[in-house]
């Protein structure tokens, strides 16, 4: 298996496997024009979020996507309805959000986010948009949540926790560090 960043790195008429974090529709179209045979390895939960984006966009909602800028999953999700999706990554992003109708706003999230971080962003958005709607069901991966809770519990009992993961992983790059810091500061 060879990992590539762009579909134009794959020779024409060859097999291409989309990532578990999904790709934007434009990437799939590009693969089609290059006659790439596609294996869709998208996580079912990510697919669910993509379908939610499409449904809310069809119903004329503004969609606040809580996630990390530059993350593959966020790019793929936002690519489903780029004219309706606004990314909310950091606290200051909340003030930059512009919606057409404050009664038709919904939040969705990247599936690998910290539950705590997501709740913080949702609460900030609700201050600005009291009628902000939630997704029909949880978007955060249960396996991710389980690992996050385990790190929190473990960090309270340890002097050091090492999290090993990909450089672009939200859990290994950002969330675990903040969860460990919070757990250490509450340790007695």
Model pLDDT for residues 113-124, shown as the tens digit of each residue: 988 889 999 999
Same domain for 15 and 48, yes or no, is no
pLDDT, tens only, 130-171 = 999 999 888 889 888 888 888 888 888 998 888 787 776 766
CA distance 111 to 104: 22
In a domain, 1, yes or no: no
Active site residue 73: yes
Distance CA 95, CA 89 (A): 11
Are 27 and 80 in a shared domain? no
**Are 90 and 66 in the same domain?**
yes
Domain that holds residue 15: 7-40
Q: Give yes or no for residue 174 having a pLDDT over 90.
A: no
Whether residues 59 and 82 fall in one domain: yes
In this structure, is the dihedral angle defined by the CA atoms of residues 162, 109, 93 and 53, taken in order, positive or negative?
Answer: positive
> Is 135 part of a structural domain of the chain?
no
- Mean per-residue pLDDT, 83-90: 97
Beta bridge pairs of residue 85: 63
Where residue 188 falls among pLDDT bands split at 50, 70, 90? Answer: very low
The active-site residue out of 52, 73, 80, 117 is 73
Q: Are 69 and 97 part of one and the same domain? A: yes
pLDDT at 180 over 60: no
Does residue 137 lie within any of the structural domains? no
User: Same structural domain for residues 76 and 51?
Assistant: yes
Are 83 and 71 in a shared domain? Answer: yes
Query: Is residue 134 situated within a structural domain?
Result: no
29 and 87 in a single domain? The answer is no
Number of domains, the chain: 3
Task: Say if 101 falls within a structural domain.
Answer: yes
Q: What pLDDT does residue 79 have?
A: 95
In a domain, 133, yes or no: no
Same domain, 87 and 162: no
The DSSP secondary-structure symbol of 167 reads T
CA gap 173, 89 in Å, rounded: 14
In a domain, 28, yes or no: yes
């Amino acid at each position: 298996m060879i990992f590539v960043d762009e579909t134009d790195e794959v020779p024409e008429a060859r097999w291409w496997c989309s990532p578990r974090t999904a790709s934007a529709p434009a990437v799939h179209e590009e693969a089609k024009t290059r006659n790439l045979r596609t294996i869709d390895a998208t996580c079912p939960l990510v697919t669910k979020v993509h379908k939610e984006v499409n449904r809310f966009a069809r119903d004329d909602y503004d969609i606040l996507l809580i996630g990390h800028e530059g993350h593959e999953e966020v790019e793929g999700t936002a690519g489903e309805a780029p004219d309706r999706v606004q990314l909310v990554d950091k606290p200051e992003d909340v003030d930059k959000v512009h919606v057409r109708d404050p009664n038709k706003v919904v939040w969705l999230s990247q599936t690998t986010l910290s539950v705590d971080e997501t709740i913080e962003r949702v609460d900030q958005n609700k201050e600005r948009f009291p009628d902000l709607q939630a997704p029909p069901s949880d978007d955060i991966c249960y396996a991710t949540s389980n690992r996050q809770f385990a790190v929190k519990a473990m960090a309270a009992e340890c002097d050091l926790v090492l999290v090993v993961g990909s450089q672009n992983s939200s859990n290994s790059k950002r969330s675990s560090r903040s969860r460990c810091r919070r757990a250490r500061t509450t340790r007695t």
